Amino acid sequence: MITCLGDVFFPEVGVAMVRLLRGLGVELDFPEAQTCCGMPLFNSGYHHDAAEVAARTVKLFERAEHVVVPSGSCAWMVKAEYPGLLKHDPALRAAAESLARRTRELSQFIVEVLGITRIESSFAGKVTYHDSCHLLRGLGESSSPRVLLRGVPGVELVELPGADQCCGFGGSFSVRLPEVSSAILDKKLANVESTGARCLVACDAGCLMQMGGGLTRRGSRVKAVHLAQVLAGEGDA
Amino acid sequence: MSDPALRTPFPERAGAALKDAFLQEALTIATTKFIDLRRESFAGFPQGEALRDRARAIKEATLQRLDAHLERLADNVERLGGVVHWATTADEAREIVLRLARERGVRMAVKSKSMATEEIDLNEALEHAGVTPVETDLGEYIIQLAHEKPSHIIAPAIHKTRGQVAELFSRELRGEFPADPEVLTAVARRALREKFLQADMGITGANFAVAETGTVVLVTNEGNGRMVTSLPRIHVALMGIEKVIPSMSDLVVFLAILARSATGQKLSSYTTLVRGPRRAGELEGPEELHLILLDNGRSRQIASTLREALYCLRCGACLNVCPVYRQIGGHAYGHTYPGPIGILLTAMLKGNESVRELAHASTLCGACKDVCPVRIDIPRMLIELREHLDREKIAPWSERVAFRAFRRLLMSETAFRASTRAGRLLQTPFVRGGRLRGLPLLFARWTRTRDLPPVASRTFRERWKDLR
């Protein structure tokens, strides 16, 4: 599942994920009719609309054995909210529960389903990792991305002070209260720069858009990259 | 909206807070300290997690039979010689206090820290009726001198640096005081002791009230709180009806997690248990004890969206970790209760209309839910609240139309592809060095401070045919 931001703004992340997973022996398909998980609608309170999008997505992925998402928040949306949104239709609800069970965020899929923790990648350098809120507190995942980063021979992982603190994106929050969102981001990026890392790694398109946008605007030498790009050996720190 | 602070729209209030250097300094220091203390406290307390579950279960069960627990509490308080008053609205609660003051010739009332009295604007009402209210909690005393409102649930003067407090004391109490917390505390203590001796009424809130024993419980870090309950001849305690708990063994559960969540302490310095007024043969305590049970919109929510907000212990932990609160502080919210839980409480007390903007003052990061001693799912409830704003047509018309249009876009691959192509075309004048800058309209809200990646020359779905 390549959700809206990944499809439109970060296609290279999806491409990296495809190369990475194929290299690990996974057979892939991409249902081309997919658009977005519906989280922007859901989080702003448009639940009927989100339910329609959820029902559509559930059907599109009915036949997949596993569904891998390179974005913690979209994975959380599918796993935590789809069944509740579709609770009024027993058949759809059952399909949503099935999809929820089959869906994994990328790092979780590699570590838990494939059982792989060491990936040979040409990526080298000092990196730091930001815990995306929905992956960390929604899906309770903090170790898989770190385990995978440490497993790359040339990568040195330095812990980010306040790694578990929000980057200030928050979906529509980032444009409803842009000044507050940017002030939160400033604190995050000051922490990032204090690590001396050349790459900031995250597992969520939303956080990457926010933090990456802040980094280039301030002319920082630090690059924001997705975990898939590190593991697929694309670009260097 | 009678409050002048609310005449400025919320985004402007937040923007002003971001530019206040003193506020930023004070907030960062205090919230960071609270976060660290809480974390250390729970790290050395492995049974804490199970106690949090237990506390939540007690709150859930108590709300199921709230009426019965309140009646039992009232019976027991009266059996001990206290008087119980039921207030449906803030108006009624104020009127009860004013009537008591009037009938008993009260000219001055000393107060312990209480958010419930803030909620009903009691100080203003007392002043208007010729009764001088004196806040005796140090933080509350500071903001009373400054003619301000609390900006944090447990640390009302969190927005002030020690330098600002020294200036304030020097001006208001006529002296030359250094920015030394010990000196300033001694100054306040001296000023307040005189007030204690003059006051006829002591007004407190209540952290808990135990139904089976009729005990009113106050959790404080200053002895003045206890003195408010014991020195003046009349003690009035005001509590929200959700503060009742069934038994003393329940109290033990809450006490074990409340101070840890709030300040990282095992217990607060004072835990004051009040059972009735002074009895025959006792040397201390007030002649009269009045307990006011305040509804003010709470009972309406027992079976509704905001139900879980009634579990709140008012520890303030969710404020300390909230990225939004940490940037803008409490005053920008514009209501009695700030922070993530404050948005829910404001909706409860003042209606959904009052949180039209505030409901979106959260990134939904979930840090609040993580630290809440009773695990209130605040982000989830904020989302529910937003759903109500749409359903009740409180959300702006333009926003509701825009999101419906967005839904249609997501329901059709063709429309989605077309919009990507349109975006690619429209963005061309704004691409600089591979980044989007200076976008117009709504997009400017992003690009004023951040770059935006351009719509890719080939989206993932367009590349897929080469990859398959």
Q: Rounded to the nearest 5 degrees, what angle is found at the Cα of A230, between the Cα atoms of A225 and A234? A: 90
Nearest CA of chain B to the CA of A164: how many Å?
Answer: 9
Distance from CA of A159 to the nearest CA of B (A): 18
The whole model's pTM is what?
0.95
User: By the 8 A CB rule, do B331 and B319 touch?
Assistant: no
Residue A221's contacts (CB-CB under 8 Å, 6 or more residues apart) are A198
Does B178 lie in the same domain as B265? yes
Q: Is A160 helix (H, G, I), strand (E, B) or coil?
A: coil
Q: Residue B209 corresponds to which tokens in the numbers above?
A: 């009230």
**Domain boundary, last residue among B239, B269, B296:** B296
Co-location of B189 and B96 in the same domain: yes
Check CB contact of B280 with chain A, cutoff 8 Å.
no
Average confidence score pLDDT of chain B: 96
Q: Residue B427 and residue B406: Cα distance in Å, rounded?
A: 19
pLDDT for res A72? 97
Cβ separation A41–B15 shorter than 8 A: no
Is B462 inside a domain boundary? yes
Three-state DSSP at B288 gives: strand
Contact A173 B383 (CB under 8 A): no
- Report yes or no: A136 and A130 within 8 Å, Cβ to Cβ: no
- Residue B239 placed within a domain: yes
B159 occurs within a structural domain = yes
Single-letter code of the amino acid located at A133: C
| Residue B320 and residue B280 share a domain | no
Q: Which of A41, A164, A213 sits opposite B450 (nearest CB)?
A: A213
Q: What is the pLDDT of residue A19?
A: 96
Asked whether the beta carbons of B388 and B305 are under 8 A apart, the reply is yes
Verify whether the Cβ–Cβ distance B18 to A175 is below 8 Å.
no
**Residues 6 or more apart in contact with residue B120 via CB below 8 angstroms:** B90, B93, B94, B238, B294, B296
**B448 vs A2, A133, A178: nearest CB:** A178
Tell whether the torsion through CA atoms of B28, B312, B260 and A166 is positive or negative.
Answer: negative
| Nearest CA-CA distance, residue B32 and chain A, Å | 11
Specify if B305 maps to a domain. no
Of the pLDDT bands very low, low, confident and very high (cuts 50, 70, 90), residue B1 is very low
- Would residue B94 count as lying in a domain? yes
In terms of CA atoms, which chain B residue is nearest residue A135?
A: B365
Lookup: tokens for A38: 């519906």
Q: Which two tokens stand for residue B385?
A: 């609240």
What is the predicted ipTM? 0.96
B289 with B79: CB under 8 angstroms?
no
What pLDDT was estimated at residue B4? 60
| B306 part of a folded domain | no
B384 and B408 share a domain?
Answer: no
Tell which of A217, A225, A226 to mutate to test the B interface (max B CBs under 10 Å): A217
pLDDT at B3 over 70: no
- Indicate the residue of A2, A45, A166 with minimum beta-carbon distance to B383: A45
For residue range A2-51, list pLDDT tens digits in order: 999 999 999 999 999 999 999 999 999 999 999 999 999 999 999 999 99
Contact B275, B251 (CB under 8 A): no
**Domains contained in chain B, number:** 3
Task: Report the distance separating Cα B302 and Cα B300, nearest Å.
Answer: 6
Clarify whether residues B25 and B162 are in a common domain: no
Residue window 355-414, chain B: list those with CB within 8 Å of chain A: 359-367, 369-370, 383-390, 395, 399-400, 403-404, 406-407, 409-413
Question: Which domain does B430 fall in, by range?
Answer: 397-467
- Is A178 in Cβ contact with B445 (below 8 Å)? yes
Instruction: Give yes or no: residues B75 and B95 share one domain.
Output: yes
Q: CB within 8 A of A33, min separation 6: which ones?
A: A60, B413
The reply to whether B304 falls in a domain is: no
Same-domain pairing of B8 and B102: no
If asked whether residues B273 and B219 sit together in one domain, one would say yes
Question: B103 and B241, same structural domain?
Answer: yes
Cβ distance of A182 and B461 shorter than 8 Å? no
Asked if residue B337 and residue B289 are part of one domain, the reply reads: no
pLDDT by residue (tens digit) across B261-314?
A: 999 999 999 999 999 999 999 988 999 999 999 999 999 999 898 999 999 999
Smallest Cβ–Cβ distance between B363 and the set A32, A173, A178 belongs to: A173
**Confidence at residue B103, expressed as pLDDT on a 0 to 100 scale:** 97
Of B350, B374, B395, the position where a domain reaches its end is B395
Question: Domain of B143: which CATH number?
Answer: 3.40.50.10420
Question: Which pair of structure tokens corresponds to residue B373?
Answer: 């001693």
Report the percent of chain B where pLDDT is more than 90.
96
Residue B467 contacts A, CB cutoff 8 Å: yes
Residue pLDDT, tens place only, B369-379: 999 999 999 99
Task: Return the pLDDT at A234.
Answer: 81
Q: What is the model's pLDDT at position B6?
A: 76
**Closest Cβ–Cβ partner in A43, A49, A169 for B404:** A49
> In the beta sheet, which residues pair with residue B216?
B209, B274
Within a domain: B95:
yes
pLDDT by position in tens, chain A (length 237): 999 999 999 999 999 999 999 999 999 999 999 999 999 999 999 999 999 999 999 999 999 999 999 999 999 999 999 999 999 999 999 999 999 999 999 999 999 999 999 999 999 999 999 999 999 999 999 999 999 999 999 999 999 999 999 999 999 999 999 999 999 999 999 999 999 999 999 999 999 999 999 999 999 999 999 999 999 998 644
For B75-85, b/e burial (b = at least 16 CB within 10 A) is ebbeebbbbbb
Pairing of strands B132-135, B108-111: parallel
Residue B2 has pLDDT above 50, yes or no: no
Q: Do A168 and B18 touch (CB under 8 A)?
A: no
In terms of Cβ atoms closer than 10 Å to its own Cβ (0-12, 13-18, 19+), residue B71 is middle
- B460:A45 CB<8 A: no
Verify that B272 and B372 share a domain, yes or no: no
Tell me how far apart the alpha carbons of residues B367 and B385 are, in angstroms, rounded to a whole number.
18
Q: Which of B296, B326, B358 is the last residue of a domain?
A: B296
- Do both B385 and B401 map to the same domain? no
> Which residues, 6+ apart, have CB-to-CB distance to B444 below 8 Å?
B438
Q: To which H or E segment does residue B293 belong?
A: strand B288-294
Q: Does residue A209 sit in helix, strand or coil?
A: helix
Amino acid in position B68? A
